[in-house]
Structure 1
Amino acid sequence: MVNQSPILSKVTGVILWSRNLERSVDMYNKLLRLSQEQQERFGHLHIFHLPSGLDIMIDSNGMENVPVPEKASPLFFMPANEIDEAASFVQELGFEIIYGGIHRNEAVSFFNMRDPDFNVITVCQNHR
């Protein structure tokens, strides 16, 4: 018999830290293009309810004195239908493409982007 974990085997949300909640909400609002009904605000916390059931929570609680890191690994990835179009789009929104730009191979093309708080997200196009 396998010991059961008190932690459920699922991810229901991700948390992005923000030093400027209004700026972050504006950027992610433009990125995600969700209706107001798919969002909630609780003071220092803004939640985007994605159609997939996953929540992206932007939290500014106590972040004003936390330094922005110089590097970070991706927190999650989001799919794209056209990687070059996606790269142009995120840059227009104020995200920075980092770690060598767009990487391409036979199976996938991807890039890593960061917001001003150095939350890193991978955007990936599957070629298969």
Structure 2
Amino acid sequence: MDNLSPIQSKVTSVILWSRNLDRSAEMYSKLFQLSPEKQDRFGHLHILHLPTGTDIMIDSNGMDKVPLPDKAPPLFFIPATEIDKASEFIQELGFEIIYGGIHRNDSVSFFNMRDPDFNVITVCQNHQ
């Protein structure tokens, strides 16, 4: 394949919009079991550094003027070892399960969750 594209074949960061940066940073720090104090904060931007090398960038710049959507597709996927415990855990953190709750089949069980700013994420347990 020719190297004509200036785009690299990797995703280094995921951006989540937030209307309340402190709340979002706390929720996602707890979700990913990271210390919020050890993460980077640049005014309206809070960056969570995941152990995988991917960053979660929570951005509040100008978000107070952007309306919340009624629906949204998942932005990314998080694996879980036990889907029922994952469901309880995310709800304790303040996330909401949407789009019909936990879906189960022989191969996977999954649910879609949203934060207060309607960032949607899929949580999935692989049964194989």
Q: TM-score range by the shorter chain?
A: over 0.9
1:108 match: 108
Cα distance in 2, alignment partners of residues 89 and 109 from structure 1 = 16
Structure 2: tracts of 5 or more residues without a match: none
Structure 1: tracts of 5 or more residues without a match: none
Match of 2:23, SS? helix
1:26 deviates by 1.3
Cα distance in 2, alignment partners of residues 42 and 32 from structure 1 = 20
1:18 match: 18
Pair 37,93 (structure 1): closer, same or farther in 2 beyond 3 Å: closer
1:54 match: 54
Kept in 1, the 8 Å contact 2:26–2:36? The answer is no
1:2 deviates by 3.2
1:3 deviates by 5.5
Kept in 2, the 8 Å contact 1:38–1:50? The answer is no
Kept in 1, the 8 Å contact 2:29–2:36? The answer is no
Taking only the aligned residue pairs, the percentage that are identical comes to 77
Cα distance in 1, alignment partners of residues 116 and 102 from structure 2 = 19
Pair 27,78 (structure 1): closer, same or farther in 2 beyond 3 Å: same
2:44 match: 44
1:71 deviates by 0.4
